Structure 1
Amino acid sequence: RQAVADAGLAPARWDGSRVGVVLGVGVGGVSVLVDNAAKLAASGPEAVSPLLVPMMIPNAAAGEVAIALKAGGPSLAPATACASGATAVAVARDLLLGGSCDVVVAGGAESVLTPLVVTAFARMGALSTRNGDPAGASRPFAADRDGFVIGEGAAMLVLEREAGARARGGRPRALLTGAGSSTDAHHPTAPAPDGYGAQRAVQAALDQAGWTPSDVDHINAHGTSTPLNDAMETTLISRLFPHRPPVTAPKGVVGHTLAAAGAIEAVATVLTLERSVVPPIANLDALPDAFPLDCVTKEPRHQRVETALSHSFGFGGHNVALAFQRA
């Protein structure tokens, strides 16, 4: 609702049949599933909520948003793990370019902070063990990074074709000029270390935008604070962008919000374009010698940014890159 109002739109006045919703969710209502499994074991079938299914299924979030906004166009729920929010934005662009919708509300949401899920991530070695220093535990690209800090949240964007938005007097915050997707086809959880799978997504976004790598002014990195991801992403960025555009990684502040991460970071990228400010990476004092990146640290960097990429990668080898341009 906040995003729709910010865009100067109102469900009471739009043609809902031309409005789509694409909302990436990775897991779904895991807390109600766990609670009801315990109730079934302890008290039998009558204790299980009749609302368990709609509270559990991952597509329920997209359905609820469609109901709230009276959006009768396509309603989709891509699940590409930690790339889901970015996948949703890419799919929204396709719906607009294909003529299926005039407006698409797109983003990601995740709420999985339950003992079971947090324990599962810890058991697989994905989480930081810096338990004595929680504020400093998420350390994207730092030499002593040891895993991510799990979070939860949501972010939504409203997308329209530029001509339609300007014709109604809308004020675009930024232009989504390209979106690319690829799959590593390498491992269930680990990224391909050479970064070529992710590079295919980045190159596809660049091609759609009509850019060369040297045209990119800024990169919002996936930057999970895990040893494998940050090393792979460094390899990718340093190889494809030798002019060293400034890099940020919001997970140092917000943690890893899984399916919501790509949407949150897309919003951050849009704000960087709009406000000419690249935010710093939290808890990064110095890069490893092997990381030849221009990471923004300590303080925000005030500079005009015309073009920017936002990277999102997920378990299963899902890669998404979004190319944004100043409006």
Structure 2
Amino acid sequence: MKSSRRVVITGMGALCNIGTTVDEMWASALKRQSQVSNIPKQWQLFNDFKCEVWAPLPPLDYAARGVTKAQLLKTDLVTVHQYITATEALKQAGFTFSEGDTKRTLKINELDNTQRMGVITGTAVGGITTAFNNHSLLVLGKNKKALEGMLSDEQKQSLHFQDWLAPRKLNPFAIPMLMSNAVSAFLGIQFSINGPNQTIDLACAAGSSAILTSFNAIKNGLLDIALTGGSEYLNDDYGASFRGFDVSGTLTQNKGDITLANRPFDKQRAGFLLAEGGSGALVLESYEHATKRGANILCEIVGGGNTFDAFSMMQPDPCAKQAQIAIEQAISTANISQQDINYINTHGTGTISGDESESALIKRLFGSRPLVASTKALTGHSIGAAGALEAIITAKTLMHQQAHGMPNLEEPINDLNFAVESQPVEAEYGLSQSFAFGGHNIALILKRINNEN
């Protein structure tokens, strides 16, 4: 099999706080629109939170997006959302579907060899909402029934008894719902794809790592096509996932106007804005495979790097040595120079130490020349989905030669060429980088296709 093949993007799908499709997300991004709200009141009845804001997802009509009631009962939303964005990406790539061999599954009509297509997606924690909600039943179930007849109405009110939420019964599908590999396995089953099926659990770099793994598999001739991306969903009945980040001190501590709470690379930043969730999906193909079937090529992935800090589970290495090596690996595999990078989509979370080390790294490698943006300034941090969403934004930036701005960047911590306002950009190559808890560093380099539609 031929190696070192070109790898192109032919389809993309997105779901996040600023849009339920790629087009919606991109339009909102160019308008510098975000969505920030107070956390659910239900959570605050049972816990005190240092951070009281997050980035919620917009309402979604699941039936209109092809999700059945049975699937919603048997599948965690982290997987459902990846299915929705994967469907969007496959349709944009020009694929059509027919009934599969098993009940309620689909077959991709244009796929000649199902072994030559893989599914490689990323998530940090998978179906953790299923785990937490079903666990609440085990803790509260019998006790709530026993207490109901023992407590007075006044006692029930003071204890918020009516708000002790739990499922009526343990979901018999709880185990497959909470397994992180379900995010990829569900897609393989639903679309009848028999090639390698893998979920990358790499915290905040999960989506980027899944894209890089897919890129390498196609580049080296192991696959012709890959369905990739990342997904996360972190809304449980009591805000347990949110509380975990909250007690670690990583969430934004900005008080007052909640629209100003999210401030990557600003001197007033005080932690990241956690998103309720998000999902991004991409269809990657070898250039030969895409052109042979007449696909519309959106963008090209030309390089990638993957390193590990071996420094701390929670803090980035302030020297960013391994992050720099990951970027240098990506530049080398792309066979370009640092001067060719004119747009950088940062990890840019808004934490004190993370933004400091990342901005210093960019200044050291690229100076103040490339246009620099943080998509998390709009979307908040969707953890395992973030890298996939940012790769999509990078692709759209190169396609349209237009970059989104960062609305709350008023006092930059470094004299980089930050995109405060949405603006035109002349860029053939774009760098998208992700840095994760644990010390994982992923860098992706995308290239503009000059004849895109």
State the match for 2:226 in structure 1: 104
AA aligned to 2:443 is A
Are residue 259 (structure 1) and residue 384 (structure 2) matched?
yes
Partner-residue secondary structure (3-state), 1:181: strand
AA aligned to 1:270 is A
- Alignment partners' CA distance in 2, 1:54 and 1:133: 41
AA aligned to 2:121 is L
TM-score norm. by structure 1 comes to 0.96
TM-score norm. by structure 2 comes to 0.70
Between Structure 1 and Structure 2, whose CA radius of gyration is higher? 2
Map 1:209-220; keep pairs closer than 5 Å.
209-220=334-345
Partner-residue secondary structure (3-state), 2:200: coil
State the match for 1:78 in structure 2: 200
State the match for 1:234 in structure 2: 359
1:25/1:77 contact within 8 Å kept: yes
2:121/2:207 contact within 8 Å kept: yes
Are residue 8 (structure 1) and residue 131 (structure 2) matched?
no
Are residue 59 (structure 1) and residue 178 (structure 2) matched?
no
- Alignment partners' CA distance in 2, 1:309 and 1:182: 16
- Alignment partners' CA distance in 2, 1:149 and 1:133: 14
State the match for 2:418 in structure 1: 295
- Alignment partners' CA distance in 1, 2:288 and 2:258: 46
Q: Deviations over 1:219-269 (max 9, x none)?
A: 001100111110010111000102520000010110000000000000000
Q: How much does 1:131 deviate?
A: 4.4
**Match among 395, 400, 404 for residue 275 of structure 1:** 400
Q: How much does 1:130 deviate?
A: 2.3
Map 1:1-327; keep pairs closer than 5 Å.
1-10=87-96, 11-14=108-111, 15-43=113-141, 47-114=169-236, 115-151=239-275, 152-242=277-367, 244-288=369-413, 291-297=414-420, 299-327=421-449
Q: Deviations over 1:139-193 (max 9, x none)?
A: 1100000001111100001000112212221121111000111011100010000
AA aligned to 1:142 is D
Structure 1, 316-325 or 29-38: larger mean CA deviation: 29-38
Partner-residue secondary structure (3-state), 2:205: helix
1:219/1:246 contact within 8 Å kept: yes
Q: Deviations over 1:264-292 (max 9, x none)?
A: 0000000000000011112101313xx12
Measured on the aligned residues, the alpha-carbon RMSD in Å equals 1.4
- Alignment partners' CA distance in 1, 2:218 and 2:397: 24
Q: How much does 1:19 deviate?
A: 1.2
Partner-residue secondary structure (3-state), 2:344: strand
Q: Deviations over 1:84-134 (max 9, x none)?
A: 000000000111123222110100000013311111101010001224322
- Alignment partners' CA distance in 2, 1:181 and 1:133: 38
- Alignment partners' CA distance in 1, 2:366 and 2:360: 10
AA aligned to 2:410 is D
- Alignment partners' CA distance in 2, 1:87 and 1:261: 11
- Alignment partners' CA distance in 2, 1:124 and 1:102: 42
Q: Deviations over 1:2-60 (max 9, x none)?
A: 1011111231231322211111010111111112112122347x943221111101110
- Alignment partners' CA distance in 1, 2:218 and 2:273: 35
1:40/1:47 contact within 8 Å kept: no
- Alignment partners' CA distance in 2, 1:174 and 1:19: 19
Distance 1:42 1:113, change over 3 A: closer
2:90/2:283 contact within 8 Å kept: yes
Structure 1, 175-184 or 241-250: larger mean CA deviation: 241-250
AA aligned to 1:293 is L
1:269/1:308 contact within 8 Å kept: yes
1:24/1:78 contact within 8 Å kept: yes
AA aligned to 2:314 is T
Distance 1:13 1:170, change over 3 A: closer
- Alignment partners' CA distance in 2, 1:164 and 1:13: 11
- Alignment partners' CA distance in 2, 1:99 and 1:211: 22
- Alignment partners' CA distance in 2, 1:139 and 1:243: 20
1:109/1:155 contact within 8 Å kept: yes
Aligned residues: 323
Structure 1, 158-167 or 173-182: larger mean CA deviation: 158-167
- Alignment partners' CA distance in 2, 1:274 and 1:54: 39
AA aligned to 1:4 is L
- Alignment partners' CA distance in 2, 1:226 and 1:34: 27
1:214/1:243 contact within 8 Å kept: no
AA aligned to 2:249 is G
Partner-residue secondary structure (3-state), 1:135: helix
- Alignment partners' CA distance in 1, 2:289 and 2:440: 32
